[in-house]
Amino acid sequence: MKRVIIILLCIIVILPASACVKNSSVKRTVKGNMKTYYEMNDGTWNCDEYTYKYRLEISGRMPNAAADSTFVYLSNLEQISFERAYMAAGVSSNSRDYFQPEEAVLVEMK
């Protein structure tokens, strides 16, 4: 019985300590207008439990639009074309135009 209590106490002490280590790797929190995401100390970006290598700001003008638009994606793809960015942002009715969560996620639209 003593062993069980000791093990439970160890778990109670270790879990909060491991949570602190995880939070200390966050450099800053960004509240995007689509999703909240995190810049990590190692230069990567996190959102919805996925890790991304790049933060891309993709600007251009959609067909027949009066002004330019900017899409901010966290991505494991080094480049995303403006056409692909706006199609994946919800313009397309074709599911093949959207990114898989491990490829890229839209976090802001400007």
Ranges of each domain in the chain: 25-109
Mean pLDDT of the chain: 86
Dist CA 18 CA 32 (whole Å): 27
Two structure tokens written together for 77:
């793809």
108 pLDDT tier (thresholds 50, 70, 90): very high
- C-alpha dist (Å) from residue 69 to 4, 9, 66, 108: 59, 54, 10, 11
92 pLDDT tier (thresholds 50, 70, 90): very high
Amino acid residing at 36 = T
pLDDT at 18 over 50: no
For residue 47, count CB atoms less than 10 angstroms from its CB and return exposed for 0-12, middle for 13-18, buried for 19 or more: buried
Whole-model pTM? 0.77
